Amino acid sequence: MKKLLTKKIVIPVFLSVLFITGSAFKNDFFEIAKQIEIFTTLFKEVNMNYVDETNPADLMDTAIKSMLQDLDPYTNFYNEQDVEASRINNTGDYTGIGASVLTLKDKLVIIEPYKDFPADKAGLKAGDEIIKVDNTVVADFSDDAGNLLQGTAGTTVEVTYVRQGKTHTAIIKREAVEIHAVPHFSMIDDKTGYVVLRKFNQKASTETINAIRTLKNEGAKQLVLDLRGNLGGLLNEAVNVTNIFVPQNQLVVTTKSKVDKYNKTYYTQKEPIDTEIPVVVLIDGRSASASEIVAGALQDLDRAVVVGARSFGKGLVQRPKPLVYGTQLKITISRYYTPSGRCIQSLDYWNRDEMGKATRVTKDNYTAFKTKRGRTVYDGGGIQPDVELGITKLSPITNAIVNENLIFDFATEYYYSHQVTDLKTFELTDADFKAFKNFLKSNNFTFETKTEKAFDDALTVAREEALNSVIDAEYDSLLKALNTYKTEAIDANKTQLMGLLAEEIVKRYFYREGMYAYYIEHNTEIKKGTEILKNPSTYLGYLQ
Report the SS3 class of residue 277: coil
Angle of CA points 326, 331, 337, to nearest 5°:
140
DSSP-assigned states of every residue in 393-439: SPPHHHHHHHHTTHHHHHHHHHHTT-----GGG----HHHHHHHHHH
> Is 314 known to be catalytic?
yes
DSSP state letter for 387: E
| 177, β-bridge pairs | 94
d(Cα 501, Cα 433) in Å, to the nearest integer?
9
Which has the closest alpha carbon to 123: 159, 82, 76, 86?
A: 159
- Run of H or E residues at 314: none
Say if residues 311 and 383 touch (Cβ distance below 8 Å). Answer: yes
DSSP state letter for 200: B
Beta 305-308 vs 136-137: how paired, if at all? unpaired
d(Cα 135, Cα 137) in Å, to the nearest integer?
7
Which has the closest alpha carbon to 234: 203, 255, 259?
A: 203
Catalytic residue among 125, 203, 314, 486: 314
d(Cα 253, Cα 528) in Å, to the nearest integer?
28
> Is 23 known to be catalytic?
no
Q: Which ranges in 404-535 belong to alpha helices (H)?
A: 406-415, 430-442, 450-464, 468-492, 494-522, 524-534
Report the SS3 class of residue 225: strand
Chain centroid offset of residue 338 CA: 20
Listed in sequence order, the residues at least 6 apart from 76 whose beta carbon sits closer than 8 Å to its beta carbon are: 68, 82, 329, 330
DSSP state letter for 465: T
Catalytic residue among 16, 205, 287, 289: 289
Beta 251-256 vs 328-337: how paired, if at all? antiparallel
DSSP-assigned states of every residue in 316-345: EEEEEEE-STT-EEEEEEEEEE-TT--B--
CA dihedral 240, 242, 247, 248 (to 10 degrees): -30
Residue numbers annotated as active site: 289, 314
